[in-house]
Amino acid sequence: MAGPLGRAAGRVKRLLYLVTEDWYFCSHRLPLAVAAREAGYDVVVATRVGDHAEQIRAAGLELVPLGLSRCGQNPLREIGSVREILSVYRVVRPDIVHHVALKPVLYGSLAARLAGVHAVVNALAGLGYVFSSSDLKARALQPFIRAAYHLLLDGSGRRLIVQNPDDQDLFLRRGLVDPARIRLIQGSGVDVKRFAATAEPAGLPLVVLPVRLLRDKGVEEFVAAARRLKNEGVAARFALVGDPDPENPAAIDAELLRTWQSEGVVEYWGWREDMPEVFAQCHIVCLPSYREGLPKSLIDAAASARAIVTCDVPGCREVVADGDNGLLVPPRNSAALAAALRRLIEDPQLRVRMGVRGRERAVAQFSLERVISDTLSVYRELQQP
């Protein structure tokens, strides 16, 4: 058995996950890490620790706290973050590292090169704020991020995991990674037993937006659509389920959120751990995002047999087939969003039919077991001499 940080005795392979937040690791990667441990890996999690340390340790995983910030912009502090990750890699001496999201991918890949870690898995769940936003700051950063991708992601011991075909095509079209080293694994998977199909509840139709409250998730369009429908006399409730993310440049301002609440246009439920219950209470799930990797909230909603309204953008259209298990609308278009929501609000039979199809798609395409199996195959591939 391994000590707290040193290399395990014998030939047990050490697998290290680098993730910015412990809550994200638990919601998106914990089942994978547990499966890897059960497959014989000695698993270490390096992340910024909030409220989920005990959950990680209780799963039999080692935990290394980090000071890494998702959105830090101070150059000296960012250099310090790379040095911190490099120090962890030199002490832990992992055989495989699995980086999740933009900053861990970039900083972790650099640290892995410096520390001599030869097996690197880089997982990008979408392209993040830099590529989804149209503001000047994001556009200015894009050439530098592309250059960093080109330098750090390619190499014989590296694999890039993307979650949708559009992202895969982008990396290949720009020549950022060799086609032999990119893998398409759709999302982080859904536990189809935990997110079970339930009958719609009685009462006014409830539409929920389960998301971090960011502008590029379409929160403002959702509120505008809700306001339009209420003004048209449509009888329905609309709820935001999630918290603002103050570290993200696209975060919804707390004052704006209070204004929406006082106006009565939407309900604000905050962060919820019991998402199966949230989906059981609602009738429609909405995510008018500008771009995604493959949104977990939508595959969870599909598994829960809920009709979905989302945007015809990368990531979202992989989960929803227009007219089959939900409706697709153009991004940044609150009028089209309102029309799609109204159609489902006023047609319960269509909602139920789409919910049934969503459940079928979730079980067939997005099960947790499938994602775990595909990812473990990438690890085994990197262990080959």
* 173, 237: one domain: no
Average pLDDT over residues 6-19: 75
The pLDDT > 70 percentage for the chain reads 93
148 and 110 in a single domain? The answer is yes
Cα 315 to Cα 66, 127, 371, distances in angstroms: 30, 11, 16
State whether 168 and 35 are in the same domain. yes
Which of the two residues, 307 and 131, has the higher pLDDT score? 307
Inform me whether the pLDDT recorded for 21 exceeds 50: yes
Instruction: Give a yes or no: residue 376 inside a domain.
Output: yes
- The reply to whether 140 falls in a domain is yes
341 within some domain: yes
Residues in a beta bridge with 161: 123, 183
Pair (231, 142) in one structural domain: no
pLDDT in tens, 280-313: 999 999 999 999 989 999 999 999 999 999 999 9
127 and 169 assigned to the same domain: yes
Q: Is the pLDDT of residue 3 over 70?
A: no
Residue 19: alpha-carbon gap to chain centroid: 12
Q: Are residue 376 and residue 359 in the same domain, yes or no?
A: no
How far apart, in whole angstroms, are the C-alpha atoms of residue 326 and residue 318? Answer: 12
CB atoms within 10 A of CB 175: 10
Q: Per-residue confidence at 70, pLDDT binned at 50, 70, 90?
A: low
Task: Write down the pLDDT at residue 129.
Answer: 59
Instruction: Kindly tell me if the per-residue pLDDT of 124 is higher than 80.
Output: yes
In a domain, 196, yes or no: no
Note the pLDDT of residue 147.
77
CATH number at residue 138: 3.40.50.2000
Q: Are residues 274 and 126 in the same domain?
A: no
What whole-number distance in Å separates Cα of residue 359 and Cα of residue 304? Answer: 6
Q: Are residues 19 and 56 in the same domain?
A: yes
pLDDT at 6 over 50: no
pLDDT band at 133 (very low <50, low <70, confident <90, very high): low
Least confident of 262-266, 343-347, 349-353, 358-362: 262-266
Which of 319, 331, 57, 61 shows the shortest CA–CA distance to 218?
Answer: 331
Number of folded domains that form the chain:
2
**Strands (DSSP E) along the chain, which ranges?**
14-21, 42-48, 62-65, 96-100, 119-124, 158-162, 182-184, 206-210, 237-241, 267-268, 284-287, 307-311, 326-329
Q: Lowest-confidence range among 39-53, 63-77, 351-365?
A: 63-77
Q: Tokens representing 241?
A: 């389920």
Same domain for 162 and 24, yes or no, is: yes
| Same domain for 372 and 344 | no
Confidence at residue 372, expressed as pLDDT on a 0 to 100 scale: 97
Q: Is the pLDDT of residue 315 over 60?
A: yes
Question: Is 194 within the bounds of a domain?
Answer: no
pLDDT digits (tens, 9 = 90+) for 243-270: 988 778 888 988 999 999 999 999 999 9
Residues 167 and 273 in one domain: no
pLDDT digits (tens, 9 = 90+) for 193-247: 999 999 999 999 999 999 999 999 999 999 999 999 999 999 999 999 999 887 7
Q: Does residue 5 fall inside a structural domain?
A: no
The pLDDT score that the predictor gives to residue 175 is 82
**Cα(288)–Cα(175) distance, integer angstroms:** 30
Q: What residue numbers bound the domain in which 231 lies?
A: 206-365
328: in domain: yes
CB 213 within 8 A of CB 257: yes
Asked if residue 7 is part of any domain, the answer here is no
d(CA 20, CA 324): 36
Statement: residue 126 has pLDDT above 70: no
Nearest-angstrom CA–CA distance, 120 and 97: 5
| Token pair recorded at residue 96 | 């495989």
Are 273 and 178 within one domain?
Answer: no
Between 250 and 100, the more confident residue is: 100
